[in-house]
Structure 1
Amino acid sequence: MSKSYEQLHKPSSSFSSRADYLNHELQIMKPKRWGVNLPFKDYRFEFEDAIPALAGTIGKIVMVGAVAAAFAVPLGLPDSFVLENVRYELLIVSVFILLFSGMFLPTSNLPGTHGPLIPLIPIVVAAGGHPLAFGLLIGVFGLALGLLKGGSLMAKLTSNGVCGGLLLYLGFVGTIGQVDKMMKWAASINLPHIAFIIILATIILYALLEHWQKRWLAVPVGCLMAGVLAFIFGAPFEFKTAPGLPHMSPTYWWGETTGWQMGLPTFNSFLVVFPFAVLAVAMWTPDFLGHQVFQKLSYPEKSEKTHMNIDDTTIACSMRQVAGSVLGGANFTSSWGTYIVPAAIAKRPIPAGAILTAVFCIMASLWGYPMDLAVWQPVLSVALVVGVFVPLLEAGMEMTRKGKTTQSAAVVVFSSALVNPVFGWSLTMLLDNLGLIGDKQRSTDLGFAGRVVIPSVGFVILCLAMGAVGMLPGIPAFLPQFRH
């Protein structure tokens, strides 16, 4: 009979270095899927777990706020709606983090926020879409994908070149976007030099942490440095959000004159959001792939059982989406990047940091004041750059170093720039699996279904969904209600 985690655990003092201890912890863990995983019996809390938990909490506040605001503006809802819904969502997600990532599905990444959907939300609202219908369809489609193991199948059919190119594109676009936002923020407060100083200091700090092999500290140290520098050089900041509780009743949120002020959805509401829900779930696979890569690159050998499971993450995200939407939350979920990326870099498994993230989210929701700090532009931008986008660039370059990967990576970047990352991923996967680019030998080993049928059908379905809502450049939306 094999020994348990408890029996195999050794104190950190018995190892020659901290890295050796953390590697050993990953190698001896035995996560139980749909079993009860308990702290100290199946995993331990370490100082390193606090870093991704803090980064994830900052990212969560920011991203949920962005989703809620994207709905609030076209619907004419006040700023108080955004703030209260963010606090509500922090409490909702905490319950699901504890149940899934912390206890029953320790290889499922935390259900975060679906950032790529944010620009599409005003289009959904303009077409008459209902957030509850949207969330329910995403959850149903996601459950079907997870139960049929569609996510892991698509992961197997995505080569290193395709995945690496996708990471490079997302990392580059995200980094440029945050630098641009910093510049605009500094100009708006008539202190344009602040952005240059903070960004330059962040670059130097990141280089030093890399040199000292402490890169997992980049988010908290970077955010602290950015906040202090901004304050020293005169950037305005004040705490506004007082302690309190949001409305906890779904009937308040889905009332005719309260909360969303929309009432319950009709059948037509589901028809309007159908193509967007297909797109949302289709975006999960490249998102999940990108996050899983960090564990593969950072974790030691013989720790594969602690890697993020794509199908488990799909199921957890889907169940969280259904429940969150029914309760009245504004969030649309996906794999939690601001948590999993620093967790992988810190060589920590998912469960312990997940529990700390839930605790931090509850504290932020009830206390209120940390929410103001998390959405302050210098803190927010530095957190996203050093915690997500630069590591995405590094992982993308690492994945395209070996083998015949550069062609596929270049095509992903090119086609993603043409439409979006979903189009780029699906088109390049089709070309790569057909053997037109990339590793020809890999193509022949996939079989007819993996080489032709699945990538072709997937690409056609995604193009139809994108074309239906007018996302293909220069081509009018197939559905009349999405034409402008």
Structure 2
Amino acid sequence: MGNTSKASHEQKGDSQQNENGLNGDEFSYQQKHKPTSEFNSRDEYLEHELQIMAPKRWRPNLPFRDYRFEIEDTIPAMAATIGKVVMVGAIAATFAGSLGLDQGFILENVRYELLIVSIFIILFSGFLLPTANLAGTHGPLIPLIPIVVAAGGHPMALGLLIGALGLILAISKGGSMLANLTSKGVCGGLLLYLGFVGTISQVNKLFAWADGIGMAHIAFIVIFCTIILYALLEHWGKRWLAVPLSCLLGGTLAFAMGAPFEFQTGPGLPNMNPMYWWGENTGWMLGLPTLESFVVVLPFAILAVAMWSPDFLGHQVFQKINYPERTEKVHMNIDDTMTSASIRQTFGSLLGGANFTSSWGTYIVPAAIAKRPIPAGALLTALFCIIAALWGYPMDLAIWQPVLCVALIVGVFIPLLEAGMEMTREGKTTQSAAIVVFSSALVNPAFGWALTMLLDNLGLVGCKERSSGLSKMSRWVIPSIMFVVLTAVMASVGMLPGIPALIPSLG
């Protein structure tokens, strides 16, 4: 009888919670949380934290009630802030060069974007959509910016179209559908290609910088010491510390060997008035877009959103590889990430920011290595971005080549290589991976993904048993449509090597 009364009391309590819009699962994190002292190792504690979280979509997720802050959260936040300063700076600088804007525009817009992104990080990844990765920067679009400007494209028009198309894809759950159609071999090949190309690119950039100051030996010593440090951290099981320690090591070594560095960007605030940024003689000096502006940038917007799926998939898979079992609830949700990225893009463009958004790789990769969920590190990233924007000096340090290059190598590209190799160890995945690398080298990773997904799902490469188990829609209809649309858009803007743009005004 006592047990019956207790059960009735608990059921009554549950009913009361449901009346308040809450249920037992939402309190399960607080109920199941245990202090670090009850675990044999730090890894066990972090894995338990991932397993007991119960994130809620479109409802408040609060620190200490639904998740906690750990020292490991500072690492992805630091890497993300460095990556954001660099990538937004690259976009703003490319636009400035094409439009004839001065250096002041670049600095002020980067500061503006750091403040804008902080608001949306807190709102979505930290509060309402805790499984949505942070909305970062769309790096592959940077080489297309001069083409957009030459064709008469307007940055606000391009940003608004990316936001609208991305939202359509998110609402229709097209992003997760395309991810489900991508095999391990295709995804692993993408990670291998991106990791290898990115590593080589950063090594070359560091040597070019060192040659430019007449101290080529600095690049060799910095990279050699970084390799040794990374190997030791791997051996000690402390790989999540790679970003801060490598940045500290690279910057200290370079400065000690005589590399020039000085702080130039002081404290300050950017202009917060959108009308300033979209004025005729201020900010972008372009005024507001016309209908023709939207027509011109439509192919680029389609291409940008089409590139999201392979990018998002690679980030989600990286979590799956590093997280333990029974953590599916905290994995990055592709459709929610597209939703938050689209909304952030729309408002960012209306406000006057230069950023074009995608999934934030320099955040999610270190976070997955550190075995941390998205929300807590997201809030720290927002805090670090605000500090960098207002203080100014951290921006100079983040873009100094010895710090920047090693941060991207050990924080993003080497882990991508490791994840790609992990995914292509079994079965016939190496066939698909090789085709992805081959076709990505021919055009770009988006083309490589679309082509190999089609060939893989048809059963021409990879696992034949997987192909035979797919429906007609999944086997060839959707992959064919995706490949044709993506290739047609690339052809229209002149992205297929050796083939002139089909729409001359865009080439």
User: Shorter-chain TM-score: what band?
Assistant: over 0.9
In structure 2, give the amino acid aligned to 1:360.
F
Ranges of 4+ aligned residues in structure 1 off by more than 4 Å: none
Does residue 257 of structure 2 align to residue 254 of structure 1?
no
State the Cα deviation string for residues 145-174 of structure 1 (Å, max 9, x = none): 000000000000000000000110011111
Does residue 394 of structure 2 align to residue 370 of structure 1?
yes
Q: Secondary structure at the match of 2:367?
A: helix
Corresponding residue for residue 83 of structure 1: 107
RMSD (CA atoms): 0.7
Does residue 194 of structure 2 align to residue 189 of structure 1?
no
Residue 196 of structure 2 contacts residue 417 of structure 2 at CA under 8 Å; is this kept in 1?
yes
User: TM-score by structure 2 length?
Assistant: 0.95
Q: Displacement, 1:444? A: 1.2
Does residue 27 of structure 2 align to residue 27 of structure 1?
no
State the Cα deviation string for residues 385-416 of structure 1 (Å, max 9, x = none): 00111111000000000111000000000000
CA–CA separation in structure 2 for the residues paired with 1:324 and 1:166: 29
Corresponding residue for residue 298 of structure 1: 322
Corresponding residue for residue 450 of structure 1: 474
Q: Displacement, 1:293? A: 1.2
In structure 2, give the amino acid aligned to 1:171.
G
The structure 2 residue matched to 1:205, chosen from 214, 229, 232, is 229
The structure 2 residue matched to 1:224, chosen from 236, 239, 248, is 248
Does residue 98 of structure 2 align to residue 74 of structure 1?
yes
| 1:342-361 equivalence runs, <5 A | 342-361=366-385
Corresponding residue for residue 6 of structure 1: 30
Q: Displacement, 1:268? A: 1.1
Corresponding residue for residue 57 of structure 1: 81
Q: Displacement, 1:474? A: 1.4
The structure 1 residue matched to 2:404, chosen from 380, 385, 399, is 380
CA–CA separation in structure 1 for the residues paired with 2:506 and 2:122: 39
The structure 2 residue matched to 1:101, chosen from 121, 125, 129, is 125
The structure 1 residue matched to 2:495, chosen from 467, 471, 474, is 471
| 1:136-155 equivalence runs, <5 A | 136-155=160-179
Q: Displacement, 1:368? A: 0.3
Does residue 360 of structure 2 align to residue 323 of structure 1?
no
Q: Secondary structure at the match of 2:335?
A: helix
Corresponding residue for residue 116 of structure 1: 140
Corresponding residue for residue 11 of structure 2: none
The structure 1 residue matched to 2:290, chosen from 233, 244, 266, is 266
The structure 2 residue matched to 1:418, chosen from 442, 456, 463, is 442
CA–CA separation in structure 1 for the residues paired with 2:226 and 2:39: 33
Q: Displacement, 1:482? A: 2.4
Q: Secondary structure at the match of 1:235?
A: coil
Corresponding residue for residue 17 of structure 2: none
Q: How many pairs were matched up?
A: 483
State the Cα deviation string for residues 229-267 of structure 1 (Å, max 9, x = none): 000000000000010100000000000000000001111
Residue 265 of structure 2 contacts residue 395 of structure 2 at CA under 8 Å; is this kept in 1?
yes
Residue 113 of structure 2 contacts residue 354 of structure 2 at CA under 8 Å; is this kept in 1?
yes
Residue 76 of structure 2 contacts residue 366 of structure 2 at CA under 8 Å; is this kept in 1?
yes
User: TM-score by structure 1 length?
Assistant: 0.99
Q: Displacement, 1:335? A: 0.4
Q: Secondary structure at the match of 1:202?
A: helix
Does residue 332 of structure 2 align to residue 308 of structure 1?
yes
Q: Displacement, 1:183? A: 0.7
CA–CA separation in structure 2 for the residues paired with 1:137 and 1:455: 23
In structure 1, give the amino acid aligned to 2:374.
I
Q: Secondary structure at the match of 1:294?
A: helix
Structure 1 unaligned residues grouped into runs of 5+: none
The structure 2 residue matched to 1:340, chosen from 364, 369, 372, is 364
CA–CA separation in structure 1 for the residues paired with 2:147 and 2:461: 35
Q: Displacement, 1:58? A: 0.6
CA–CA separation in structure 2 for the residues paired with 1:34 and 1:472: 41
Q: Secondary structure at the match of 1:259?
A: coil
Corresponding residue for residue 199 of structure 2: 175
Residue 296 of structure 2 contacts residue 506 of structure 2 at CA under 8 Å; is this kept in 1?
no
Q: Secondary structure at the match of 1:265?
A: coil
State the Cα deviation string for residues 95-123 of structure 1 (Å, max 9, x = none): 00000000000000000000111111111
Q: Secondary structure at the match of 2:243?
A: helix
Q: Secondary structure at the match of 1:244?
A: coil
CA–CA separation in structure 1 for the residues paired with 2:310 and 2:321: 17
In structure 2, give the amino acid aligned to 1:334.
S
State the Cα deviation string for residues 256-284 of structure 1 (Å, max 9, x = none): 00000000111111111111100100111
CA–CA separation in structure 2 for the residues paired with 1:30 and 1:52: 21
How high is the sequence identity, in percent, across the aligned residues? 73
CA–CA separation in structure 1 for the residues paired with 2:482 and 2:35: 49
Structure showing greater Rg? 2
State the Cα deviation string for residues 300-357 of structure 1 (Å, max 9, x = none): 1001100000000000000000000000000000000000000000000000000000
Does residue 44 of structure 2 align to residue 43 of structure 1?
no
In structure 2, give the amino acid aligned to 1:6.
Q
CA–CA separation in structure 2 for the residues paired with 1:446 and 1:97: 37
Does residue 418 of structure 2 align to residue 401 of structure 1?
no
Structure 2 unaligned residues grouped into runs of 5+: 1-23
In structure 2, give the amino acid aligned to 1:117.
L
In structure 2, give the amino acid aligned to 1:321.
Q
Q: Secondary structure at the match of 1:4?
A: helix
CA–CA separation in structure 2 for the residues paired with 1:291 and 1:222: 22
CA–CA separation in structure 1 for the residues paired with 2:447 and 2:481: 13
Q: Displacement, 1:87? A: 0.2
